[in-house]
Structure 1
């Protein structure tokens, strides 16, 4: 009998509780300061990371190779026949490739590598859908076949107070050269079909950016029923207000307010407001 596991990395921004409830194993991204190294979600929280930004901006790095090796061995030792690995965009991180290199040395299990071509909670939403299919008893092949549809129905948008943190982290992608840090221009950023970040639209001022985010959500809700996550990166009051303003829409199947994790927050900076939308499969 087939036994299927699901592995992701902490870029997915799912809470430890959500990961546990859905039987998803997580590899923590490393968060590196000058004097110390932390593991995202394990030894540092997003709140602790945001508090530290005024004194030092850390960097991020791939999951520890030894930890990755141990987790893959754990799946093998526990009798899993298949492991579905669902990770942050390969264009934005080398995480998926690093896992693949270690997996090449393993035997006794079938590995399935899936590139979400996104990051943050949109990655998390995709991972949750994969885990749901596992719970439903789908085969690994059926899940891999369904993956493109899941990815195409998942959308992420985020606006920032500043692009400074994206620039520092090297995740500026196609945004580079398209945004002037002038006149309070606020971009709304998404990821494209190749997994690169790009400027979805620009607005002048924070209020207009948030209003545009709301309009983007309503455009999807006009087409189909959706699951929605409102995301806060040290922007809790604005995120709560956004949540309250949209939660009553009749085409929202489920909605929750979530935190942007430490590893992602390093690149978004404080004041980030995000939106994840999953269109129902009709």
Structure 2
């Protein structure tokens, strides 16, 4: 049996890293309604220029685009394992889980999985799924394994500014205003959705506190994954140095894709670790 792995563009890994890995684009929408596919054809500089000038929204993959990808893959594969971004951040999961389970041509062929993930979390799930496929596991079994594993990570997000998160509705205006007034950097917990966890006086102290929280909540873990939106190389180097000083090695390191940076803004860091 041949099985394809499909992600959406909240996944920020290298599509060439795994055999039979494909991606469907989410959408970035300008204030005037102009829509861009969030894919490898979207220029990074063009995107961040848009982000500097206006409030950007994001949208699910259109049904037409999604079904076109499903239909094409099913001409070459028997099953598709689809790993969308977290249901806590988008309706992408719910929309296409329902479609996969109600349309006869996709029943038992397309498996829309509840990852609770995005970015580096879904990079790890791609790795896990590729391993399970190599073990000859099939769609329903893989979907169950993902559901069991989707609470096995701890994650923290540290934004230098809350403006973009506030505009996108990912954090309340009250919390954003309070942080700005008190000149504090928030540490946001990520577990499929985003919630406030703690605060620090500087970005560097917030990173250190997030690493301490990982030590507390994922005892014995010595490896972390990081992703980040556009930031100065010197800032990223300081982050890497601090992570190493805290006794962690870095496994995955990648830049957040535009469809996620549209909500986090520039100079946002995410750190995750797996408990198992």
TM bucket, shorter chain: 0.7 to 0.9
Q: TM-score, normalised by structure 2?
A: 0.85
Could you tell me which residue of structure 1 aligns to residue 40 of structure 2? 42
Give the whole-Å Cα distance in 1 for the aligned partners of 2:222 and 2:82. Answer: 28
Contact 2:114/2:150 (8 A) holds in 1: no
Distance 1:248 1:237, change over 3 A: same
Per the TM alignment, residue 53 of structure 1 is displaced from its structure 2 partner at its CA by 2.1
Distance 1:137 1:257, change over 3 A: same
Cα distance in 1 for residues equivalent to 2:21 and 2:222: 26
Contact 1:46/1:265 (8 A) holds in 2: no
Alpha-carbon separation, structure 2, partners of 1:8 and 1:142: 18
Q: Secondary structure at the match of 1:152?
A: coil
Pair 1:31-2:28 in alignment: yes
Q: Distance in 2 between the 1:241 and 1:251 partners? A: 14
Matched, 1:232 2:231: no
**Residue of structure 1 in register with 2:90 after alignment:** 93
Partner-residue secondary structure (3-state), 2:170: coil
Measure, in 1, the Cα distance between the counterparts of 2:229 and 2:199: 19
Deviation at 1:206, TM superposition (A): 1.7
Quick check: 2:218–2:274 contact (8 Å CA) kept in 1?
A: no
Give deviations 1:131-189, integer Å, cap 9, x for gaps: 332233223343233223432222221111222211211222xx564451322121111
Closer, same or farther in 2 for the Cα pair 1:221/1:196, shift >3 Å? Answer: closer
Match of 1:257 in 2: 253
Structure 1 CA distance for aligned equivalents of residues 230 and 174 of structure 2: 27
Distance 1:158 1:64 in 2: 28
Gaps of 5+ in 1: none
- TM-score, normalised with respect to structure 1: 0.83
| Count of residue pairs the alignment pairs up | 270
User: Deviation at 1:268?
Assistant: 0.4
The corresponding residue for 1:244 is 241
Q: Distance in 2 between matches of 1:100 and 1:149?
A: 17
2:121 alignment partner in structure 1: 122
Q: How far apart, in 2, do the equivalents of 1:55 and 1:135 lie?
A: 46
Q: C-alpha distance in 2, partners of 1:44/1:66?
A: 20
Q: Given the superposition, is the C-alpha separation of residues 231 and 94 from structure 1 closer, same or farther in structure 2, using an over 3 Å criterion?
A: same
